[in-house]
Each structure stands twice: as structure tokens, then as C-alpha cells.
Copies of this chain bind each other. A is one copy, B any other.
Amino acid sequence: MNTFGHRLRMTTFGESHGRAIGCILDGVPAGLAIDEAFIQEQLDRRRPGQSALTTGRKEPDRVEILSGVFEGLSTGTPIAMVIFNTDQKSRDYENVKRLFRPGHADYTYWRKYGIRDYRGGGRSSARETAARVAAGAVAQLMLREIGISVEAGIYEIDGIRAETLDFEHARRSPLKALDPEAEIAQENAVLAAKEAHDSVGGAVLTRARGVPAGLGEPLYAKLDAVLAEAMMGINAAKAVEIGSGVASARLKGSENNDPLTPDGFASNHSGGILGGISNGDEILVTTWFKPTPSIFREQESLTVDGEALRYKLKGRHDPCVAIRGVPVCEAMMALTLADMALLGMGSRMEHLAAIYRR
């Protein structure tokens, strides 16, 4: 169950402090120019250790492509990508070997498997998202060829919400903030939490443009349902909204319906999806992240033997996981849309005839 997607399938592997993490991306059509520099650039956006806002760990996150690319082009065969782990301070984790960190997956992995790689969260570490970003970058390359772009940025941190949505700014900002005005307060909230050995939550808004009407496979691979799965599966995600989301549920039908006009939809409460199928408008998804569970204040918990204890975590952690979640949200959106584009090819007999006409 480490595979995402139907026709474009990413299977990831690896633990935080094992030898490597990586993925196999299967289903990339042949003939796509694989821009390795772009893949690395996306990884660099997720990479820790770049500012005071994120964890101090230093991982070069250098991706190596092992297969599926020949003379710069995809060949239609599986693209395996691997990132070897280098900055593994497993000793940091000796002290958590026998205990369950609150808010972490330590306890649940223990209960499920009866065994766990406790070093840095093992498989449950957000480090795995580097593999998603690498695969997502390939998906973005695919989408570009059909005119689709995907972007994301910080929408809210610690209750401070963006009022303007400037995706250009987000791409340059260390906080990846959508609103240059709100950014200062958001940044201060992160630094204050860090100072207090605590953490804050936030939200990432992901947008796709140029999505043709018709993507999404009802009824059990609806575009919104799969996006919800994709985003909720990111570490620390606790809520997903499509378009106006919760706010839609507080409008009247007459306010929430997006009028359809000869020039397109007059509003976009729907977030570009109706009946689980894209309507041609912008796809908008908001993903809410809880505050990082790894904090450096004294907390109550249990040992693996069931004894209560109070302890203080050590190590290096992000005070706000939402920030580094931005490229991960982009990746999951891109993987989902590329998958849906492949699935959607079979929606009409005329498409089939176009490909196989003789």
C-alpha cells in the first residue's frame, strides 16, 4: 500500500535514517523530455536547512535517476529515483527508542507492526515526501506539455490568513507566503513558536490552471475525492477543502452556485470541480496542517512498556511543517492531475478511434 495513482503510479520506499529513500514512477508516457534540473530544483524547495524557519538538518537531497530515461527522454518504462541519506544522526534518537512521542506515529506503528524503526520516525518521517516531490516534478513536466500549471503557497499560519494570493511571490519567499503583507506576521509567529520550543500549524493553498474540463473519474476516482486523499495523506494534514470548502457550507444555494456564462463561470466557489469532474476553471485546494508534534517542551507520554513518563524531546525539527509542505502539495496535485489526464483519455470512443485509426 505504498503506491499512489491509477495509471501514473508512484511507489515510494525508504526510512528517515535508512540507506536511502526513493520511488518508482510507473506510467510516464514515452517521449517526455526529463528535465533533471527542474526535478532537483523542486527538491531544493522542499529541502530543510535553508532558513531559520525550517529544521536545521542538512540533507543535500541529491536525486539520481536509475532507469526509464534514455538520451534525455522517457522511454515508457518505470523511472526509478533514489536519494541516499547522508545526514543521519541516529544517536539523536537513542532517547526516543523506548518511548512514544506524543502526536507522532511511534505508537501506532508499534501497535500495528509490533516493531518499528524508531530512528527519526522511520517510514513515518516527512523525509519520505522528498520522493513525492521528485515524482511530482516529473508529473509537472507532463502537465506542462498539455498546458497545465500547478502552484502552491502558504495561505495561513497560526491563524494569520493571506488576503492576497500572489503565487509568484510564494515561489521566491522563504516562507513560501502567498501574501507579502501577511508574511511578516506569519514569519513572526513561526519564530516566536520556535523560541518558545513550541510549534504552529498552517494551511497551504494549491492551484492548478489550464486544466481542461473533463478530468476526474466518477464515481470512485472523482477528482475532488482523489485530491482529498492525496492531500490528507501528507504528513500532519488534518483537513482538506475544495474551493470555498467549509465556507460553502455556510452559504445559501443561491450564493454558492457558480453562474455559468458564455465567458465561463462567474465565480469559483466550486474550486473548479463539479460532480467530481473538472469544469475548466482553476482547481483550488486548501490543505490544513497541524502544528509539528515534535516540540521541545516537557510532555507526558508512555514507554513501550506502558509506563508513564515526562520528557523533553531533543533534535532538529520544523517549527511549522506547513512551510515545507508547499512543494509536497504541488507534487500531490501534479501527480493527481497527470493520472487523471491519462485515465481521461479513455472517456470517449472518438478518442480511442483517434489513437488507433489506421
Contacts and interface: CB of A to CB of B under 8 A. Distances in A.
A287 to B, nearest CB: 9
Given A15-B77, A108-B278, A354-B355, A114 B66 contact: no
Nearest to A100: B260
B238 A242 contact: yes
Contacts of A22: 66, 80
A302 interface: yes
Interface string A236-252: 01111111111011111
A8 to B, nearest CB: 8
A204 B20 CA distance: 37
Nearest to A339: B346
Nearest to A319: B253
B3 A26 contact: yes
Contacts of A227: 232
B30 A218 contact: no
B274 A107 contact: yes
Interface in A284-320: 288-295, 297, 299-302, 306-308
Nearest to A30: B113
A38 interface: no
A256 interface: yes
A49 interface: no
Number of chain copies forming the complex = 4
A93 to B, nearest CB: 12
A146 to B, nearest CB: 4
Nearest to A14: B67
A133 interface: no
A309 to B, nearest CB: 10
Looking at chain A, what size class is its interface with the partner chain?
35 or more
A182 interface: no
Contacts of A294: 253
Contact of A111 (B1, B67, B213, B355): B213
Contacts of A66: 13-14, 18-20, 22, 82
Contacts of A258: 102-103
A-side binding surface: helix, strand, loop or mixed?
mixed
B156 A249 contact: yes
A345 B65 CA distance: 25
B3 A249 contact: no
B233 A238 contact: no
Contacts of A240: 228, 232, 239-240
A238 B232 contact: no
B19 A292 contact: no
A347 interface: yes
A4 interface: yes
Contacts of A31: 113-115, 348-350
Contact of A2 (B109, B220, B279): B220
Interface stretch (A50-58, A117-125, A163-171): A117-125
Task: Give 5 closest A-B pairs by Cβ, nearest first.
Answer: A105-B275, A201-B249, A225-B233, A199-B253, A1-B217
Given A1-B220, A13-B66, A15-B70, 14 more contacts: A29-B349, A29-B351, A31-B350, A102-B257, A105-B218, A108-B273, A113-B348, A159-B250, A198-B254, A201-B256, A241-B288, A254-B295, A345-B345, A345-B355
